[in-house]
Amino acid sequence: MKSTAATMPVQSRLTQSKNNDQNEPLSFHLGEEAIGGFSAGVVGTLLGFPLDLVKTRMQTQTSGAKLSPLRLLRHILKTEGVTSLYKGVGPPLLSLSIVNTLSFSSYSYWRQNHFHGKDGWDYKNALSGMMGAPMFGIVTTPENFLKTQMQLDNVQDERDKMKKGTQSTTESSQKLKGRFIGSFHCAKTLVTSHGLPVLYTGHVINTIREAAFVGMYFYCYEGFKVEFKHIIGNGEKLWRSTIYAASNNQEQESLATSLAIPIAGGCAGAASWAFTFPLDCVRAGVQGQHITESYIHKQGAFETLKLLWQTKGITGLYAGVGPSIARAFLVSGSRFSAYEGAVSLCRWSGLSPGNARYGEESSGSYDD
């Protein structure tokens, strides 16, 4: 005897499945999340780190040493070598794999179970994303601190000379070399001299920036996703109607979704960086201050903001915004592609039971 499910019309089974999905809570597969988040973190970090270096240098340039992004990149390659482009890449590789995993799970949990955010431009999606910021900050503050210290390590002495008004070798071909061998050597040196709290220099401003960033990211992501799905879907429908007499609506929906999600992720990343860039400039100033083994000047966020405003004006809060936005679009798209690829591989290989609903509505990874 054939089962009831086998004899049930296809459309009825799809409708019943959809209704069941709406009533059942979204399940999380942490192994799948971890592998996808790790892949997204590694790919995005490696692709975007050189641009992040240029962004940090521009944010912390002294008033007498303003260089364009391309000129600054050429200067770094000439005076510090190719390897300097990835100096300090260790902490982001580690932390962003963790943060990406947390961001997927946290956002989905708060959106579904508490705020009930809708697809499209819904402020509840921003609130759902912001709820994870205190958790992200615990992970990203030490990572951002060590990354910023390493990115400025080769030029800290030059920056000090410029601040004192003495001659700088910024435009010379002299090879610049820092005092830290690597990120872990930097951490060990500073913790030995100043204790563990030094790793949380700038924790408050970093956490505020995280909250503003992830809130704006998920708000824009959900909004852009609907807009691009509509635009791409209409374009695909028009193209198919021109070529074929009939079209497969399900295939059409799948194509529109697969294209809309990475584009929406890239646009959301770029928009979020533009929105929060002044906060990131202040964070870079706080976490990038020169900390020697015997001395640390506690320069807070308000002092850094005041100094930026006095020396550079409003433009100082947007120094390096070009490379940052370009990096954000590139990294957000690549991270999402890496995440989806890793998750699909897990499901194909049988390592994870998978969740079709989550795969279809996954929120991508935010770019930090």
Domains of the chain: 30-152+178-361 (1.50.40.10)
Single-letter code of the amino acid located at 135: M
Buried/exposed code over 113-140 (b: 16+ C-beta within 10 A; e: otherwise):
eebebeeeebebbbbbbbbbbebbbebb
Single-letter code of the amino acid located at 271: A
DSSP element (H, E) containing 134: helix 133-153
User: What pLDDT does residue 79 have?
Assistant: 87
Whether 328 contacts 272, CB under 8 Å? yes
Single-letter code of the amino acid located at 250: Q
Burial of 307: CB neighbours in 10 Å, binned 0-12, 13-18, 19+: middle
Residue pointed to by tokens 């503003």: 212
Q: What secondary structure letter does DSSP report for 24? A: S
User: What pLDDT does residue 169 have?
Assistant: 45
Which residues, at least 6 apart from 86, have a Cβ–Cβ distance to it below 8 Å? Answer: 49, 50
User: What pLDDT does residue 123 have?
Assistant: 95
User: What pLDDT does residue 12 have?
Assistant: 38
User: What pLDDT does residue 5 have?
Assistant: 39
Instruction: Tell me, rounded to whole angstroms, the distance of Cα 91 from its chain centroid.
Output: 14
User: What pLDDT does residue 10 have?
Assistant: 32
Q: What secondary structure letter does DSSP report for 160? A: H
User: What pLDDT does residue 104 have?
Assistant: 73
Residue pointed to by tokens 């509840």: 124
Residue pointed to by tokens 């002299």: 174
Q: What is the mean pLDDT of each run of 10 residues along the chain (368 residues)?
A: 39 40 47 66 80 84 71 87 85 76 81 90 94 92 91 71 52 61 88 92 95 94 90 72 56 67 86 93 90 76 90 84 84 71 73 47 50
Q: Provide the whole-model pTM.
A: 0.73
Q: Both tokens of residue 237?
A: 């429908």
List Cα–Cα distances, 120 to 230, 275, 317, 340, in angstroms.
Answer: 11, 19, 30, 21
